[in-house]
Amino acid sequence: MSAEQSCPPTPASAHPSPLSHPPSLIVIVGPTAAGKTALAIELAAALDGEIVSADSRQIYRGMDIGTAKATPAERARVPHHLLDIVSPDQALSVAEYQRLAYAAIDDIWCRGRLPFLVGGTGQYVRAVIEGWTVPAVAPQPELRAALEAQAATEGAAALHGRLAGLDPVAAARIDPRNVRRVIRALEVCLATGRPISELQRKAPPPYRILQIGVARPRAELFARIDARVDRMIADGLVEEVARLAAAGYAWNLPAMSGIGYRQIGEYLRGEISLDEAVARIKRQTRRFVHQQNTWFRPDDPQIRWIHPDRTPIAALLAEIAAWLKQTG
């Protein structure tokens, strides 16, 4: 990759314009607590790269500990993009994230550096590397509230059943327990009168992509999750959540109801003990790993899976360098 690439300004459309040579993009995926951030920083530092976050929780300002953001020291070592871009009471659609990610990737490559897309939010990663055409339907607050009320009274399965009646293709793709995604699919269907699966198309961007998956045995991963949650508490997660609440951010905001923030909120409101809050965070994080595995499957032939502690960095760097020579 050369710093002398001819780079036109990023257009307003979702995809960057095709350049003289297709940009190389390294994608690092895997479940939470597997070690994606540490690996990405090592690789990016060695390869003159910059990191574009693909984490739907790290977009929020002031939510650092509970989202396991890269530390200031890590960000000083390797530039990071798409962290801290909205307030906890603001929404960022997948379409908006996709546009920002394409712009960041294009900018990094045009400056002669290597872009890394790193994170565990499957929708974000796939939207970028597969070039989803995401329906541009603005949030419908009243409709969302009605659907949330239906989920609360009738259960998530009933809401998913309603989606299955309107859009069986989308329903088959969405975990019934993922109420937020079910609501979004229903929102698009009801607002446009068309199934969301019909509106979603794929137009892959002009990137040459190498996907690296970070994986660990289940027991090892769960032990790392437990240790990380304990470390978050020691680092001040309770105080972080208390500050956000004191700043006026409502408990029912999507950002404040995410894993870690919801449970600490229950503790701060006197509903449960701190020990119970910590135990719930650990349990919910393990369940979240199962959801992530539906996006990043061990049998996906497009992902080069590694154990970060058993794959020497030097060997991985040599593999990437060979790939870059082939593609660049």
What is the arithmetic mean of pLDDT over 56-72? 97
CB atoms within 10 A of CB 71: 13
Q: What pLDDT is recorded for position 62?
A: 97
pTM of the model: 0.81
Angle, vertex CA 123, rays to CA 129 and CA 7, nearest 5: 35
The mean of the pLDDT values for the chain is: 90
Q: Are strands 201-202 and 80-81 parallel, antiparallel or unpaired?
A: unpaired
Angle, vertex CA 85, rays to CA 80 and CA 87, nearest 5: 140
Task: Give the Cα separation of 2 and 22 in Å (integer).
Answer: 12
What is the arithmetic mean of pLDDT over 163-192? 87
Burial of 159 (0-12, 13-18, 19+ CB in 10 A): buried
Q: What pLDDT is recorded for position 326?
A: 86
Over residues 29-41, the pLDDT tens digits come to 999 999 999 999 9
Task: Give the Cα separation of 257 and 252 in Å (integer).
Answer: 6
Q: What pLDDT is recorded for position 7?
A: 61
Would you give the DSSP letter of residue 236? T
Q: How confident is the model at residue 2 (pLDDT cuts 50, 70, 90)?
A: very low
Ordered by where they begin, the domains of the chain are 24-133+202-216+295-327 (3.40.50.300), 141-199 (1.10.20.140), 218-291 (1.10.287.890)
What is the arithmetic mean of pLDDT over 30-59? 97
3-state SS record for 32-67: CCCCHHHHHHHHHHHCCEEEEECCCCCCECCCCCCC
Over residues 191-207, the pLDDT tens digits come to 888 888 776 677 889 99
What phi, psi does 271 have (nearest 5°)? -85, -30
Q: What pLDDT is recorded for position 137?
A: 72
- DSSP helix/strand/coil, 26: strand
| Tokens, residue 186 | 């229903």
- DSSP helix/strand/coil, 133: strand
Task: Give the Cα separation of 306 and 265 in Å (integer).
Answer: 36
Q: What pLDDT is recorded for position 14?
A: 45
CB 209 within 8 A of CB 27: yes
Q: What pLDDT is recorded for position 145?
A: 87
Over residues 233-284, the pLDDT tens digits come to 999 999 999 999 999 999 999 999 999 999 999 999 999 999 999 999 999 9
What is the arithmetic mean of pLDDT over 152-172? 90
Q: How confident is the model at residue 320 (pLDDT cuts 50, 70, 90)?
A: very high
CB 29 within 8 A of CB 36: yes
Q: How confident is the model at residue 19 (pLDDT cuts 50, 70, 90)?
A: very low
Task: Give the Cα separation of 176 and 169 in Å (integer).
Answer: 13
H or E stretch covering 182: helix 179-192
CB 117 within 8 A of CB 52: yes
Percentage of the chain with pLDDT > 90? 72
- 231: pLDDT strictly greater than 70: yes
Q: How confident is the model at residue 11 (pLDDT cuts 50, 70, 90)?
A: very low
